[in-house]
């Protein structure tokens, strides 16, 4: 009969106990901190979902739209305000060739008027072409500090802090020029600048060209950006508008919709959202609807108003 080495088995058992205790300690350290200005049922749903992710060993990814989802967009998109303010200050009163070229782009954008359409968002890149990436980042950062500081939703910052606590990678997608948004968004949310993905222009010798890299993160392009650059199926996706529908449907877990419109009934061109408002559609789909305060700061002189660009709706939190 083979002799059993009881001391050896005992040591092995002790090792497994230590490992088990270590795993439990790590899991218990991941604590959800309720978001005080959201209802208890909203916090409960988020916490319950996060608890289900504790055993996941693969990458845990959360993807959010930017304007209107993580920070305010009333009365204008920051990308537009940064662009039109720069045009007003640097080009509008000049007659040299560069100024005429840039103002021709501005005229085309104003005439288009659809500042959520792909041609318009491409023209934003064309406007900033010829500048260094540092110059573009500074324009975006300065615009944020001048006109949008304080409009980053505290609830979304708290949510993102919770996600990081639970081991999530957090990514931000925007239909604005990537370099324009990366610095201030990364600083405010505490994420790597490489996790802020926008419309990409080819960079040559530190200068952004007007060559655009596909896909463009707008409408269905946002959904395409996820496998193209993030290369993971997200567990959480957050958005606020019709343009985020395709991206939200990439989530294999929780879908979060911020301040969804409940006035405009969408038409046939909006596919499955036809006959619904954004809010009613996502309620039907079981998404988590949340509210954040987004009202115009009347102390800010928005230069976009000089170009008669449409305003975004305000959302006053109840």
Name the class of domain 31-307: alpha beta
Q: Which pLDDT does position 317 carry in this prediction?
A: 82
Query: Which pLDDT does position 25 carry in this prediction?
Result: 44
Domain ranges in the chain? 31-307
* Tokens encoding 108: 């085309």
Q: Which residues contact 186 (CB under 8 A, 6 or more apart)?
A: 192, 193, 195, 196
Q: Report d(CA 237, CA 249) in Å as an integer.
A: 8
pTM above 0.85, yes or no: yes
- In this predicted structure, what is the pLDDT of residue 318? 78
pLDDT by 10-residue block (mean), the chain, 318 residues: 52 53 52 97 98 96 98 98 98 96 98 94 98 98 97 98 98 98 98 98 96 95 98 98 97 98 96 97 98 96 96 92
Torsion sign (Cα): 120, 122, 127, 133? positive
* DSSP structure string for 113-177: --TTSHHHHHHHHHHHTTSBHHHHHHHHHHHIIIIITT-B-HHHHHHHHHHHHTTEEEEEEEEEE
pLDDT value at residue 3: 54
């Amino acid at each position: 009969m083979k002799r059993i080495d009881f001391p050896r088995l005992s040591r092995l058992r002790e090792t497994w106990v230590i490992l088990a205790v270590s795993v439990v300690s790590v899991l218990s350290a991941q604590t959800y901190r309720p978001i005080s200005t959201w209802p208890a049922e909203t916090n409960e749903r988020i916490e319950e979902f996060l608890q289900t992710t504790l055993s996941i060993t693969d990458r845990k990814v959360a993807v959010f739209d930017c304007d209107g989802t993580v920070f305010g967009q009333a009365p204008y998109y920051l990308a537009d305000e940064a662009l039109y303010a720069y045009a007003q200050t640097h080009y509008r009163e000049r007659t040299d060739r560069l100024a005429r070229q840039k103002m021709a782009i501005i005229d085309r954008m104003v005439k288009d008027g659809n500042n959520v359409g792909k041609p318009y968002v491409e023209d934003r890149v064309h406007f900033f072409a010829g500048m260094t990436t540092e110059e573009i980042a500074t324009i975006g950062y300065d615009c944020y500090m001048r006109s949008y500081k304080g409009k980053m939703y505290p609830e979304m910052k708290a949510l993102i802090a919770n996600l990081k606590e639970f081991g999530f990678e957090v990514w931000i997608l925007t239909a604005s020029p990537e370099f324009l948004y990366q610095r201030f968004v990364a600083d405010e949310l505490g994420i790597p600048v490489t996790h802020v993905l926008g419309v990409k222009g080819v960079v040559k010798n530190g200068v952004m060209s007007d060559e655009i890299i596909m896909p463009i993160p707008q409408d269905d392009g946002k959904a395409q950006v996820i496998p193209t650059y993030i290369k993971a199926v997200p567990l959480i996706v957050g958005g606020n508008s019709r343009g985020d529908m395709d991206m939200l449907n990439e989530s294999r877990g929780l879908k979060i919709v911020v301040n969804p419109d409940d006035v405009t009934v969408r038409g046939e061109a909006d596919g499955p959202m036809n006959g619904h408002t954004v809010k009613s559609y996502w309620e039907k789909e079981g998404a988590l609807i949340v509210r954040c305060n987004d009202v115009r700061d009347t102390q800010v002189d928005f230069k976009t108003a000089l170009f008669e660009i449409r305003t975004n709706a305000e959302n006053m939190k109840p």
